[in-house]
Chain A
Amino acid sequence: DSGVTQTPKHLITATGQRVTLRCSPRSGDLSVYWYQQSLDQGLQFLIQYYNGEERAKGNILERFSAQQFPDLHSELNLSSLELGDSALYFCASSSRTGNTGELFFGEGSRLTVL
């Protein structure tokens, strides 16, 4: 158990819909990262938050957004869903920013868009 909790574990929805994925980082960790893992693209960095503020941005689509709340949990919002958004979405946390060292990953949320 990494200490990072993600909900839901599985989600099936239809094209055009909107979903929210939730992540609770390890106790005390200020940084939260979101990654998308798909068969054809591997593990893609989406976005990182540190203590409530956006810190780094990767290949995140405009249809996707994220935020980190004062209690440090984070949500990834995916809207106008397309079939290609079907993937495993991982959240990770770390205690630091810059030279982060080790990231602790959750078990992922598997999104299926039909």
Chain B
Amino acid sequence: AQSVSQHNHHVILSEAASLELGCNYSYGGTVNLFWYVQYPGQHLQLLLKYFSGDPLVKGIKGFEAEFIKSKFSFNLRKPSVQWSDTAEYFCAVTAYNTDKLIFGTGTRLQVFP
């Protein structure tokens, strides 16, 4: 069965610090990969996605993620975080051409001014 692991449960950073959130998945076949973000009091929304092609994908608000197939990883990065990036971040995966989107347990990011 597919699963997604997010090893950082809670990350605390100061503004302008660099961010990297880890995401590993377990599935042997072709996958689609996603990062969703949930700002305080708001609904989940898509940050970025990878289906195929360039393994480095860019999303909204300066976020990017790199798909490393050999490591089954899809880590999220941002060179310089802002206070407004405080949110919970979820990595998710679907097996190719399926509908079951499986989420990781999430990483809570707190950014202090």
Contacts and interface: CB of A to CB of B under 8 A. Distances in A.
Q: What secondary structure prevails in chain B residues at the interface with A?
A: loop
Interface in B89-110: 90, 94, 96-106
A50 interface: yes
Contacts of B61: none
Interface residues of B, number: 23
A57 to B, nearest CB: 8
Interface stretch (B17-25, B41-49, B79-87): B41-49
Contacts of B100: 45, 48, 56, 58
Contacts of B44: 90, 92, 103, 105
Contacts of A86: none
B106 A42 contact: yes
B106 A43 contact: yes
B112 interface: no
Contacts of A112: none
Interface band, chain A: 20 to 34
A41 B42 CA distance: 20
Contact of B99 (A2, A48, A90): A48
Contact of B105 (A4, A42, A99, A107): A42
Contacts of B73: none
B6 to A, nearest CB: 9
Interface of B: 32, 34, 36, 42-46, 49, 51, 90, 94, 96-106
